[in-house]
Amino acid sequence: MFVSYKWLSEYVNLGGMPAKELAEKITRSGIEVEGIEVLGEGVKGVVIGHVLEKEKHPNADKLNVCQVDIGEEEPVQIICGAPNVDKDQKVAVAKVGAVLPGNFKIKKAKLRGEASNGMICSLQELGIESKLVAKEYAEGIFVFPNDVTPGEDALAQLNLDDEVLELGLTPNRSDALSMLGVAYEVAAILDTDVKLPNIEFEEAGERAEDWIKVSIEAKEDNPIYIARVVKNVKIGPSPLWMQTRLMAEGIRPHNNVVDITNYVLLEYGQPLHAFDYDRLGTKEIVVRRAQDGETFVTLDDTERTLSSEHLLITNGKEGVALAGVMGGANSEVVEDTTNVLIESAYFDGQRVRQASKDHGLRSEASARFEKGVDPNRLQAAADRAAELMAKYAGGEVLAGSVIAGDIDLEPKVVTLTLEKLNRVLGMELQKEEVEDIFRRLQFGVKTDNDQFIVTVPTRRGDITIPEDLVEEVARLYGYDNLPTTVPEGATYPGGLTDYQKKRRAVRRFLEGAGLNQAITYTLTSEKKAKEYALETRELIKLAMPMSEERAYLRLSILPQLLEAISYNNARQIDSLGLYEVGSVFLKEAGEQLPREEEHLAGALTGVWEENQWQGEKKAVDFFVAKGILEGLFAKLGLAERISFERAQADGMHPGRTAAVVLDGERIGLVGQVHPQKAKELDVKETYVFEVKLGPVFAAKTEGVTYEPIPRFPSITRDIALVVNADVQAGALQQIIREAGGSLLKEVHVFDVYEGEHVEAGKKSIAFSLKYFDPNKTLTDEEVVKVHDHVLEALRDQAGAELRS
């Protein structure tokens, strides 16, 4: 909502307060002033001129040589190129020495040999937006009505000596979508009165009800419809002050009748529509729902196909206006209109919203209906428009209004106790202070002991419950005066849940391991949404995506993470590690909401360890990625319960991919991105993992119990085994563990070798075994016995021979 400072001061005594100060006060009491536009900023030295003579320029077809009276002793000669300039016009003249927006200085000039001492201005040249300039002046200079005097300040005449406050209204404050509404707000803030327009006009002998009948078929959508008729209007321009006010508030002037409806809309917040009475074709108005498929041409000459969700104003036969949104071309006020029907109605917000949404027609009118208009202003607005049409369009107002339907005009009564008010605010306001605030708001207030009985005018439809009154008091009293306390009462044990603690631990571990945390988009393309999914599901798609790239909910994090790797690779960053913790979305049969499963994903590429001057460089490989996971699971106390099994997955290297298994259940994967896939994604050799966090965090782990520090020495035996090349280390280790029994404390691989000195198709794997008995020093014989048993088991179960 734009608010002209000058216009506002007609309703409220602003006491000459600077616009900036007023804006600050309004903002601090609840309506944010988002900006102040200083009209005519940067314009100096523009006066009214009277074109005394106009002659064709001797050397230029499109130019005219004008003699203009600018209130000085002698007329000045000005060359003007505007097509509409003419003798006897009153125009805006930028004198020599004047400044126009953009610091454009007017100097004496010669145009094709003729002297020009100034410039006749268009409104655009004075800084008014083109879209606000009335069509007749859009291509040329602006022509003033005749009653202005040469030499007068043209800016004042154009109301360009004004400032406009731009209000950012929250949806509840639709009351401030009108000058009067803003006036009430400002009056409450400044503790002063509102001066309402005094509506006075004479009615003709003829009665409106003899001219028009109104009936409503859709009472829920349109509880009340008021029609007034003004006959014998003369269509012409509206008065200059009205045009300039409309422009200041962002509305383009058209003609007196249309401008009046717009003016009243801004003044009262009640949208009006003016029909050409004669072009209606019938003597009745019938309000009904449109039929599905019914067509209707709006006044922008566009044919609209309607549905039964739209409310239509008809002449009993066909549509004449799309209720609350836009009039019809068939009944629009035109140049030769003589009789006007003024519509002032209450249309249901949802109905209007539906139509404006379906047809992409958002207007000043629809915005107000959508938020609800003040039922008590319907009649006043119709009367005000009739008054102005009588005054400025020479019309005669027919007696009475034709009213169909009715609406509750009673103000709402809301009660509030002083105790509640003070309890909710944490304050100790006195009864009188509170009463005074309601008085400033012009709410009726009676008190009954501790209770305020507040009568809220219908213009404030947003106030319905005691809490709304609390807010009114608080905002006008001022939040700066609110004390600061902290909640009292029982102290609560706050903190993180186990899950949240573990998630933080995972993050810290991965960061310690050198990975940076990434956050990628949840929405992705159809293709990426299902790639690398740990579980396949039907995808979840947005009903109306903004693009195909962001249309589906992801089943895995890796595709996005790989996109981030690709982004970095493309920017000469070859070595990096990223991880992300985020949700994937699994559609579950019979469930309304998808299951949101939190996953951990990681991607690593390039050099992992490097010390350049020492010539050391280690690239990321499968074991780096796996090692990170192993370290993580060890951190979570799950080292013994996690295993890795060779696995295949789409988009993964067939020989370098493992399933991550927790207690026998597959919970994730780790491995190398398939080289072909890497090429397709534009990433270098990259290793990735993705693991479900739910089962990992849910796995119960035992707390730490102290184990005595060994008092007896352990005995280590290293063995090098020769096995078939396809035998996996994990299997051998398993055999060793089982055969080693309780004395075998540790076993780990320390060498793997294939090649020279090892038979083709075989490989050598060396293990280091540590035997230990917590209760005594092991003897050689005891160790030999177990160790031989281990070797025997390896021979029997895996065909493993000791390497000679």
Partner 1 sequence: MEQQLKELQTEALAKVESAEDLKQLNDIRVAYLGKKGPITEVLKGMGKLSPEERPKMGALANEVRAAVSSAIETKQAELEQKAIEEQLAKETVDVTLPGRQVEMGNAHPLTKVIEEIEDLFIAMGYSIAEGPEVETDYYNFEALNLPKGHPARDMQDSFYITEELLLRTHTSPVQARTMEKYKGQGPVKIICPGKVYRRDNDDATHSHQFTQIEGLVVDENISMSDLKGTLEVFAKKLFGEDREIRLRPSFFPFTEPSVEVDVSCMCKGEGCRICKHTGWIEVLGAGMVHPNVLEMAGFDSKKYTGFAFGMGPDRIAMLKYGIDDIRHFYTDDVRFLRQFAEHE
Q: Tell whether the torsion through CA atoms of 46, 51, 52 and 56 is positive or negative.
A: positive
Rg of the chain in Å (alpha carbons) = 42
Q: Does 309 bind partner 1 (CB under 8 A)?
A: no
Q: Report how far residue 610's alpha carbon sits from residue 596's, in angstroms, rounded to the nearest whole number.
A: 39
Min CB(760)–partner 1 separation in Å: 40
Q: Does 577 bind partner 1 (CB under 8 A)?
A: yes
Q: Does 307 bind partner 1 (CB under 8 A)?
A: no
Q: Report how far residue 4's alpha carbon sits from residue 38's, in angstroms, rounded to the nearest whole number.
A: 10
| Residue 449 exposure: Cα atoms within 13 Å on the Cβ side | 3
Q: Report how far residue 276's alpha carbon sits from residue 43's, in angstroms, rounded to the nearest whole number.
A: 40
630-649 residues near partner 1, rule: CB under 8 A: none
Q: Does 260 bind partner 1 (CB under 8 A)?
A: no
Member of 118, 140, 237, 349 binding partner 1 (CB under 8 A): 349
Member of 105, 423, 439, 789 binding partner 1 (CB under 8 A): 423
Which residues have CB under 8 Å from 455's CB, separation 6+? Answer: 411, 412, 413, 443, 444, 445
Q: Does 27 bind partner 1 (CB under 8 A)?
A: yes
Residue with tokens 């000043």: 364
User: For residue 536, what is the DSSP state?
Assistant: -
Min CB(421)–partner 1 separation in Å: 10
> C-alpha distances in angstroms, 162 versus 37, 157, 269, 710?
9, 11, 22, 90
Member of 545, 654, 675, 710 binding partner 1 (CB under 8 A): 545
Q: Report how far residue 284's alpha carbon sits from residue 211's, in angstroms, rounded to the nearest whole number.
A: 8
Closer to partner 1 by Cβ: residue 511 or 788: 511
Interface mask (CB under 8 A) for partner 1, residues 595-634, using x and -?
Answer: -x--------------x-x---------------------
Member of 578, 670, 743, 800 binding partner 1 (CB under 8 A): 578
Min CB(325)–partner 1 separation in Å: 16
Member of 101, 316, 457, 594 binding partner 1 (CB under 8 A): 594
Q: Does 327 bind partner 1 (CB under 8 A)?
A: no
Member of 543, 589, 704, 760 binding partner 1 (CB under 8 A): 543
Please tell me whether residue 703 adopts helix, strand or coil conformation.
coil
Piece in contact with partner 1 (CB under 8 A), picked from 145-153, 204-212, 258-266, 535-543: 535-543
Member of 9, 89, 255, 520 binding partner 1 (CB under 8 A): 520
The one-letter amino acid at 106: I
Min CB(301)–partner 1 separation in Å: 28
Closer to partner 1 by Cβ: residue 544 or 589: 544
Min CB(431)–partner 1 separation in Å: 19
Cβ proximity of 561 and 602 under 8 Å: yes
Interface mask (CB under 8 A) for partner 1, residues 164-183, using x and -?
Answer: ------xxxx----------
Q: Does 745 bind partner 1 (CB under 8 A)?
A: no
Q: Report how far residue 321's alpha carbon sits from residue 273's, in angstroms, rounded to the nearest whole number.
A: 9
Largest CA distance in the chain: 132
Q: Does 479 bind partner 1 (CB under 8 A)?
A: yes
Q: Does 591 bind partner 1 (CB under 8 A)?
A: no
Q: Which neighbouring-strand residues pair with 143?
A: 91
Going by DSSP bridges, is the β-strand pair 326-327/340-346 parallel, antiparallel, or unpaired?
unpaired
> Which tokens hold the place of 743?
């004395």
Piece in contact with partner 1 (CB under 8 A), picked from 14-22, 409-417, 506-514, 651-659: 506-514
Closer to partner 1 by Cβ: residue 168 or 713: 168
> C-alpha distances in angstroms, 156 versus 19, 88, 221, 273?
17, 21, 44, 31
Q: Does 363 bind partner 1 (CB under 8 A)?
A: no
Please give the size of the binding site for partner 1, defined by CB under 8 A. 88
Within a 10 A sphere around the Cβ of 721, how many other Cβ atoms? 23
